[in-house]
Structure 1
Amino acid sequence: MSLKQRMLAYCACSLGFSLLNHVFFFYYVKVFLNYYKIEEGWFQFAQMLYLVWNMINDPLFAYIQDTTNFRLTKTRREAILYTAPLFSLSFILIWFPWAQGTWVTGLHLITALCLYDTFFTYIGLAFCCLFTEISSDPKVRLQLTQWSNIAGLLASFSVFICEFTSDSLKSFQAFQLTTVVIAVVAAIMMVYTGLYAHTEHDINIMQSDSSKEEVTHKKSSESSVWRLTWQILSERNFIAFVIVNFFQGFHRTFFSNFVAIIFDELIPDDVVSSSIRKMFYGSLNIVASVIVIFGVPLVQNIGYSKTIKWSFIWKIFAGIIMFMLGRQYIIIMMIYVLLDSAFSWAAFTFFVIPLSEIADHDMYKYKRSHPITSMVFGTNALIVKPAQSLCPMLTVAILNRYGYEEHKTGKLGLQGLDSLKDTMFLILCGYSCILGIIQYISWSKYVLKPQKSRELVISVPSQF
């Protein structure tokens, strides 16, 4: 297969994977809080178990994918091929309630989160590794980022479609039917990737004899998971990167889970109509993809590193300015959230490039015959993915402390409601400022540069 065909197969997975992910993280918190009426104790307990399972499954699946030769792990594409239908089924599970407001609702959330994350992690690792291993050429990787964001742009309409078919979840049966259709389409896209997304390593194996393949896998599994993980964690560039990525994941989770909840309170229906509100929620992910697609030429000129750095500068100053203006400027607040969310997602899109550089550098540094890309991405996820649980846990705890749970039952007075809205606005601005400062400082410690002629060029490292 040609390189372009393999790149298109990769983009099919980007489409399918993003279709599920956008809908899942945009709606699951709102559905369980407002429709299934889950108790806060069960919600926090489910998030804690989700966090623990996140920490366990990422390095476990990464090590399995890099060191075993089973049918499900033999190649990156086969890992996606055989598990894609199960991933779609785990996505459907969450939208069909088992009960409301009881321990069964808590059990439903625990089961849905853990099952979804199992296949999300397994397929996500293989998907990220495809990016690194389809080509080691930095220009091809940047082009692949652009192409996959075109697919991601199409996937971004999934939230937009759900908003209009369900009338912002007012017709829950229509929402359920829409999620089933999305799951089927996503499974088809990912199966296509599993059939045709061959990496450079796969092609080399297919051109060699079977004995060489066995030797390759044997060499890949000589080191233990602990030794490989320690080698990755001892790299200062990796530490600098995962700190940035952790808080980026925290911020993206906040936008996905809480923008609709907060804006439903901060923006009155008589100021912004329901149709405009639906378009706004649906456009949050669309704008990010558009920025990446048309911003790639700029990134090629100034470099992805400076692009990411400027996104942090924007995050800091935009949050400060919005806080100084106040929540009474509703249209400005909507523009602020739209841009802040878009820049956060757009910057995150380019994070796969430095992580691929770290994987390249690891192979070069330790003279490996086969890249341990899954271990690099898995160790990154081990540190980063707990942010997906910590963000909802922290934010829900803050909101309930200021009366959100009472507000849902109609027991919160006008004074308490005003205090709750102030808290929501403070969270909206405060997260951007605080996280942006931490990320800017940490990103300044990342010093790896793109490969040139198969060798890594590394600038003089500063003290971490």
Structure 2
Amino acid sequence: MGRRVWGLCQGIPTAVLYGSLALFVSILHNVFLLYYVDTFVSVYKIDKLSFWVGETVFLIWNSLNDPLFGWLSDRSFLSSPHSGSQITSPEVVLKRLQALSRSGPLFALSFLAFWVAWTWPGLQFLICLCLYDGFLTVVDLNHNALLADLAVSAHDRTRLNFHTSLFSAIGSVSVFLSYSFWNKEDFYSFRIFCVTLAALSMLGFFVVSRLLQHRFQSEVQPCKTESQPLTELSIGQAPFTSAEKPVTLGEYLKQLSRHKNFMWFVSMNLVQVFHCHFNNNFFPLFLEHLLSDRISASTGSFLLGISYIAPHLNNLYFLTLCQRLGVYQVVRGLFMLKLGLSVAMLLAGADQIYLLCIFIASNRVFTEGTCKLLNLVITDLVDEDFVMNRRQQAASALLFGMVALVTKPGQTFAPLIGTWLLCLYTGYDIFERNSVAEAPIAAPALPVPLRQGCFYLLVFVPISCALLQLLAWSRFTLHGRRLQNIKTLRQSAQHSHLIDVKAI
């Protein structure tokens, strides 16, 4: 019976298996983003100093671990003068799958460490954040790098991203369920819920990574014995085969500093990461102080769930637009839409409850939807880096890591800047057990009412982000004819008899 099931699983397309890995991340990560701050502040009663120290250390670790793990993963592609002839793309894919099979279950275990108080809150906050983010980084880097390693054409990468979005949407169901179990006074049910999610994630990572490893191992071994180049998903011998001296980390950083499109992209993406995590961290606060007394609990649960599921479903439509208009135009349109909706909500005011419900949900939907598309832009940057610097192999994980080095600080800045602004303009301090701090450090002379302050925070943050992003995005040139030329040069490095990703 077991062999029969295993045989049936072998028939699942690679693109579907690749996308399913996103399911086992999203069922945990969405819950983490939504509840980790509230858990430590409201349940474990962490003090303000410990929270800020933990977030500051996390900021440093969160920024450095991506390029560190990316360098450890891809340094051989830069250092070996003949790496293009020694390492084929299927072997690179197999290496990334082996990393996923190890780090995926460990990522699920680190998720569980948040929901049980096992030491002093400040120390637990620091250890849990660093462990969780470390394993999440390894999972994300290898999964995202596979997007660039499995395909080069925009069509095939869009197809892979389509499956990722589909499974991420399914994984967002955990947010709907979490609202039913979340109870600050009785944490037991929520802990059982988290254990169940972690067990499902561990099992999924183990099974899917084994399936993919078996598939690519079966392709690598015969070709090694026959001494023939691999034809499936192979980049193979690059066109730039002259011997080169090893590329050091310093030289690689200099190359990136001269990569203008990379610099403009990370500037824009830093703001995007900040806005995404600002929405995640303050969504419960906005629901509580803007809508809780005007909508039912079931409506709040629906808004919460739809704000996590809709971005992935919307992304399925956005991906079809990307095939017709290009990623650049779609992302630019989303920035303009974010700006327009925020200005309209500001003019309408906080008393328009139905408009407020729609805006709170749509703000998160379009912001998260943009984030889901940006991996396609990074894969284009991988192609441009490959061509500009005459790489023997595309260092996809390393480039994803360098993007994260610059942009991930936005993840830490979001709760810090958000809580500071809220305290500055309203006198409300989330670390105080009473609703309003008795003596906030930076309390205004005439504090804005809490509800009005939350509303201003809700609309002015996306307005500011959209303006900064439109400015940076207007300087990004990797689209249109230039992008087509880059992809043509990258594809010329491939063997002429590649198999389409849909047929894998």
Q: TM-score if structure 1 supplies the norm length?
A: 0.88
Q: 2:240: which partner in 1? A: none
Moved more, 427-436 or 296-305: 296-305
Q: Are 1:229 and 1:375, in contact at CA under 8 Å, matched by a contact in 2?
A: no
Q: Does 1:175 align with 2:198?
A: no
| Partner SS for 1:448 | coil
Instruction: Tell me the distance in 2 between the aligned counterparts of 1:150 and 1:221.
Output: 43
Q: Does 1:432 align with 2:500?
A: no
Instruction: Tell me the distance in 1 between the aligned counterparts of 2:384 and 2:103.
Output: 30
Cα shift at 1:130: 0.7
Q: Does 1:442 align with 2:472?
A: yes
Q: Are 2:99 and 2:142, in contact at CA under 8 Å, matched by a contact in 1?
A: yes
Q: 281, 304, 308: which one pairs with 1:257?
A: 281
Q: Are 2:308 and 2:365, in contact at CA under 8 Å, matched by a contact in 1?
A: yes
Q: 1:247: which partner in 2? A: 271
Instruction: Tell me the distance in 2 between the aligned counterparts of 1:412 and 1:4.
Output: 56
Structure 1 residues 2 and 352: CA distance shift in structure 2, 3 A: farther
Instruction: Tell me the distance in 2 between the aligned counterparts of 1:157 and 1:246.
Output: 28
One-letter amino acid of the counterpart of residue 409, structure 1: N
Q: 2:488: which partner in 1? A: 454
Summarize deviations over 1:187-231 as a string: whole Å, max 9, x none: 222223422446999888542369999x99xx9993222222321
One-letter amino acid of the counterpart of residue 89, structure 1: L
Give the gaps of 5 or more residues in structure 1.
458-464
Structure 1 residues 202 and 424: CA distance shift in structure 2, 3 A: farther
Q: 2:104: which partner in 1? A: 84
Summarize deviations over 1:46-95 as a string: whole Å, max 9, x none: 000000111221111101011359x9997111110011111111111011
One-letter amino acid of the counterpart of residue 191, structure 1: F
Instruction: Tell me the distance in 2 between the aligned counterparts of 1:412 and 1:292.
Output: 41
Q: 1:287: which partner in 2? A: 310
Instruction: Tell me the distance in 1 between the aligned counterparts of 2:17 and 2:453.
Output: 45
Cα shift at 1:455: 2.2
| Partner SS for 1:404 | coil
| Partner SS for 2:13 | helix
RMSD: 3.1
Instruction: Tell me the distance in 1 between the aligned counterparts of 2:191 and 2:477.
Output: 47
Q: Are 2:93 and 2:146, in contact at CA under 8 Å, matched by a contact in 1?
A: no
Structure 1 residues 90 and 422: CA distance shift in structure 2, 3 A: same
Q: 1:17: which partner in 2? A: 25
Moved more, 201-210 or 14-23: 201-210
Question: What does residue range 81-120 of structure 1 map to in structure 2 within 5 Å?
Answer: 81-98=101-118, 104-120=120-136
Structure 1 residues 67 and 276: CA distance shift in structure 2, 3 A: same
One-letter amino acid of the counterpart of residue 40, structure 2: F
One-letter amino acid of the counterpart of residue 254, structure 1: F
Cα shift at 1:416: 8.7
Q: 1:462: which partner in 2? A: none
Q: 2:6: which partner in 1? A: none
One-letter amino acid of the counterpart of residue 286, structure 2: I
Summarize deviations over 1:105-124 as a string: whole Å, max 9, x none: 11110001000011011111
Summarize deviations over 1:289-333 as a string: whole Å, max 9, x none: 111123332332222211100111111121112112221112211
Instruction: Tell me the distance in 2 between the aligned counterparts of 1:356 and 1:30.
Output: 35
Give % identity: 23
Q: 1:187: which partner in 2? A: 202
Q: Does 1:146 align with 2:162?
A: yes
Q: 1:461: which partner in 2? A: none
Q: 134, 145, 149: which one pairs with 1:129?
A: 145
| Partner SS for 1:369 | coil
Structure 1 residues 28 and 87: CA distance shift in structure 2, 3 A: same
Moved more, 415-424 or 20-29: 415-424
Instruction: Tell me the distance in 1 between the aligned counterparts of 2:130 and 2:434.
Output: 29
Instruction: Tell me the distance in 1 between the aligned counterparts of 2:436 and 2:67.
Output: 45
One-letter amino acid of the counterpart of residue 278, structure 2: F
Q: Are 2:74 and 2:397, in contact at CA under 8 Å, matched by a contact in 1?
A: yes
Question: What does residue range 41-52 of structure 1 map to in structure 2 within 5 Å?
Answer: 41-52=49-60
Moved more, 8-17 or 194-203: 194-203
Q: 2:224: which partner in 1? A: 208
Instruction: Tell me the distance in 1 between the aligned counterparts of 2:290 and 2:433.
Output: 15
Q: Are 1:251 and 1:431, in contact at CA under 8 Å, matched by a contact in 2?
A: yes
Instruction: Tell me the distance in 2 between the aligned counterparts of 1:220 and 1:356.
Output: 24
